[in-house]
Amino acid sequence: MRTEGDVWDIVSSVGLTALGVATFRALEAAGPDPLIEDDYAPLFVEAAGEPHFTGLLADPSALDGTPLVPGFMGFRTKFFDEFFLSAVANGVRQAVIVAAGLDARAYRLDWPAGTTVFEIDQPKVLEFKEKVLVEHVAQPKADRRAVAVDLREDWPAALRAAGFDSDKPAVWSAEGLLPYLPGAAQDALFEQIVELSALGSHLGVESFMTGTDVKRFATIESKYFDKSLFGDIDLAELFYDDERADPAQWLTENGWTVRAFSPAELATAYGRSAPELPDELTDLWQQPRYLTAVR
């Protein structure tokens, strides 16, 4: 269960979900005809040594018949990769990866000279990430700045202290984050991002439709798959399902131009066929789940 101000490292609570998605990125990148490249994801998984995810990396056959999360990770990562690259192609030179986890975009993407990439996450998550990257002498392709702070605290102050300039446009992502925040923190997050966003800023969001959908996702997952994709983590225990504003509607009302894409649309755009999903999951495939917003 979540508590106010709870903290975690990379092998506990919400931190483990960052390791999980890194595992799914590593598997996508190592699979046939991958949608993405990520040489760093397997390094993180191996370094963490968590048995479930290390086991999946060594033998992905346990995922056979579970198209949902692994399939989504390829689309999701490619979508946000393209989103960031499109914003910097339009001249933006500040990127903020909110809840960065083990996202290695600062190392993977070809950022234009002069780009700063800020990564916000909890301190122990970023410490683990830093340790692995230093051990492997990884070189970022941008000016990468880790911002160790909880998103339920005064993260804008920490971001500014790290050199963020709110007079200049920025490109932001909130990928794989929203259900882990209480509703009030999610609403505050969007308000704070908007406050910090000069004209010409871009925001990419992975949006579950409602808290109810979030719980349903976890319940359906455990019903269909004998082994949870996330091992011993019960995602439903980590998610909040309290009331919050709908990001697409709220951003539109606040003057942003929003576009929304479903996993099905991304699959088509990326030349992938639809996975065979149980009837109860097909609506998740059609939901407008990936948003881009520009002001």
Ligand X SMILES: C[S@@+](CC[C@H](N)C(=O)[O-])C[C@H]1O[C@@H](n2cnc3c(N)ncnc32)[C@H](O)[C@@H]1O
Point out which residues bind ligand X (CB under 6 A). Answer: 14-15, 17-18, 21, 99-103, 121-122, 125, 150-152, 175-177, 180-181
Burial call 217-246: b when 16+ CB within 10 Å, e when fewer: bbebbbeeeeebbbbebebbebbbbeebee
Q: Which is nearer to ligand X, 8 or 224 (CB)?
A: 8
Residues in the chain: 295
Q: Which is nearer to ligand X, 42 or 176 (CB)?
A: 176
CB–CB of 174/203 below 8 Å? yes
The residue of the chain with the least Cβ separation from ligand X equals: 101
Radius of gyration of the chain (CA): 18
Which has the closest alpha carbon to 233: 53, 16, 23? 16
Q: Which is nearer to ligand X, 17 or 207 (CB)?
A: 17
Minimal distance in Å, beta carbon 167 to ligand X? Answer: 25
Minimal distance in Å, beta carbon 264 to ligand X? Answer: 20
Q: Which is nearer to ligand X, 30 or 198 (CB)?
A: 30
The strand order across the sheet containing 257-261 reads: 143-148, 116-121, 94-98, 171-174, 202-206, 290-294, 257-261
Residue 177 neighbours by CB under 8 Å, 6+ apart: 98, 99, 151, 206
Minimal distance in Å, beta carbon 263 to ligand X? Answer: 15
Q: Which is nearer to ligand X, 129 or 216 (CB)?
A: 129
Minimal distance in Å, beta carbon 155 to ligand X? Answer: 8
Minimal distance in Å, beta carbon 40 to ligand X? Answer: 11
